[in-house]
Structure 1
Amino acid sequence: MNDFWSAVILGIVEGLTEFLPVSSTGHMILTAHLIGFTGEKAKTFEIVVQLGAVLAVFVLYWRRFFGFLNLKRSLSNSGRVNLIHIALAMLPAVVVGLALHDLVKKYLFGPGTVLISLVAGGILIIIADRARVRVTAETMDDITYKQAFGIGLFQCLALWPGFSRSGSTISGGILLGTSQKAAAEFTFIVSVPIMFAATFLDLYKSRDLLSMDDLGLFVTGLAASFIVAMIAVVTFLNIIKRLSLSWFAYYRFVLAIVFYLILFL
């Protein structure tokens, strides 16, 4: 398939799935194998295209992010999520990600490992959905520092492609006493700095594989991801209070079975 259309397709897949608990990276890896867009450059594209979805969140929550720029106000306002919450949620994944980056990209960016993590992540979602943990953080601004750090620990699971960042953090948040909506919004906010960091780290480490000829490909994927993610985030927040998370787990199980039949039988 023409690389341009591959970029468009993968950008749409990324935008639709980045903030749903179904694993955008897993979907892109599986889709890329179906359309024949593979190799080291494709692996880098699959990470960089996430920037489009990140920019969509930044646009939707721009007032919150600009509020963080006022450090004194941000850190002193104990009644709202602040930079300390963000730092605590980022710390575990940053440390583990830096330590295991090369191993993850070498051994876990394949369809077989993604299918396993789709199932494992689905099991975690069902456990969280059926747990009867008392909600102590009804809104994002009710989240404590302890809960923020705990969500960050769960986010480490998302280093395994297919596990899903939003799936692991929303499930973790629920198990730690946040509402589904609070965990989802906090996941969106935290995703921006950590995905920027992960993207630029990967670009730096893959600099020898890329050239200016790839710019159009990357921009195309970013644009498609941005537009679709804007719609997907708003839609997800509108339905998450009414929809059981388990439905996303069932979808993951079906997806794993379908792709196993397509790719391995």
Structure 2
Amino acid sequence: MLEVIKAIVLGCVEGLTEFLPISSTGHLILVGHFLSFTGDKAKTFEIVIQLGSILAVVVLYFKRFLSLFNFKKRSGLNLLHIIIGMIPASVLGFLFHDVIKNVLFSPFTVGIGLFLGAFLMIYAEKKSKTESTQDLDHLSYKQAFIIGLYQCLSLWPGFSRAGSTISGGLLAGANHKTAAEYSFLLAVPMMVAASGLDLLKSYQYLSIHDLNYFATGFITAFIVAMLAIVFFLKILSKVKLIPFAIYRIIIGIIVIAYFI
């Protein structure tokens, strides 16, 4: 029963933080540490619940995903926009996968990532260009590549993939909603690829005896992620990134101080 409760808590944390600019990986590492839920099986569990969050985006943006494969249309967002955005982080992630996992996945490094990522978000809000791109169908290939470059920062747990890509989108000239929605769409292939690679390396930790709490975490993350995405899009254009940045600074300082 205790394992199921932990699965629900971590599923909520994953679903709530995956698409908000506050770092889901960072929060999972921190919460897992305080719940004493660590080790190889815990890492495998985190991969599974991340897939639940991914499914939420697929469901919410199903028609948009289908349109990416409509090669007859002459304008608008297409598959190439997603591929271009994936390239930088995919290459770096593949080359330095083991280094990232072994060096950067600790509560202390997460605290640093939360802290530094917050200042990127503040910088993006203060220095962002005039919003020339008001929707996804007007996003250029150049903007997609710039966002992809900023996504590389998210390879450091705590920096936040959503925080990095949304900040990159603002600095590239997109408005908040466009930057966020592109971030959501870009997350799906990136997370499937990363989670798939991790799952192949840790499949031996999957057991039929763990099916109960793995399924609980997956379903919880799926439901909470759907709610979080809808809520986030409603408030983002009003509150901007600054409140999320302040939250990250506070949490980052607490974590760094605690582990020092």
TM norm structure 1: 0.93
Runs of at least 4 residues of structure 1 off by over 4 A? none
**Do the aligned residues in 2 keep the contact of 1:181 with 1:240 (CA within 8 Å)?**
yes
Match of 1:89?
Answer: 85
- 3-state SS of 1:242 partner: helix
The yes-or-no answer on 1:264 pairing with 2:244 is no
Corresponding residue to 1:230 among 218, 226, 230: 226
Cα separation, 1, equivalents of 2:198 and 2:43: 10
Match of 2:3?
Answer: 3
Deviation at 1:248, TM superposition (A): 0.7
Match of 1:166?
Answer: 162
Cα separation, 2, equivalents of 1:132 and 1:90: 22
Cα separation, 2, equivalents of 1:182 and 1:149: 15
Q: Alpha-carbon deviations, 1:79-103, whole Å to 9, x = none? A: x110000000111111111111111
Match of 1:15?
Answer: 15
Q: Alpha-carbon deviations, 1:135-169, whole Å to 9, x = none? A: 22111211100110111111111111111010000
Deviation at 1:257, TM superposition (A): 2.4
Corresponding residue to 1:220 among 212, 216, 221: 216
Aligned CA distance change for structure 1 residues 174 and 132 (closer, same or farther; 3 Å): closer
Corresponding residue to 1:117 among 91, 113, 117: 113
Deviation at 1:173, TM superposition (A): 0.7
- 3-state SS of 2:190 partner: helix
Q: Alpha-carbon deviations, 1:15-72, whole Å to 9, x = none? A: 11111100011111100011110112212322331111111111111111122343x2
In structure 2, runs of 5+ residues without a counterpart are: none
Deviation at 1:132, TM superposition (A): 4.2
Corresponding residue to 1:77 among 48, 53, 74: 74
**Do the aligned residues in 1 keep the contact of 2:128 with 2:172 (CA within 8 Å)?**
no
Cα separation, 2, equivalents of 1:257 and 1:93: 27
**Do the aligned residues in 2 keep the contact of 1:25 with 1:47 (CA within 8 Å)?**
no
RMSD over equivalenced CA pairs, Å: 1.5
Cα separation, 1, equivalents of 2:89 and 2:41: 24
Cα separation, 2, equivalents of 1:124 and 1:159: 15
**Do the aligned residues in 2 keep the contact of 1:29 with 1:46 (CA within 8 Å)?**
no
**Do the aligned residues in 2 keep the contact of 1:11 with 1:49 (CA within 8 Å)?**
yes
Cα separation, 2, equivalents of 1:58 and 1:233: 12
TM norm structure 2: 0.95
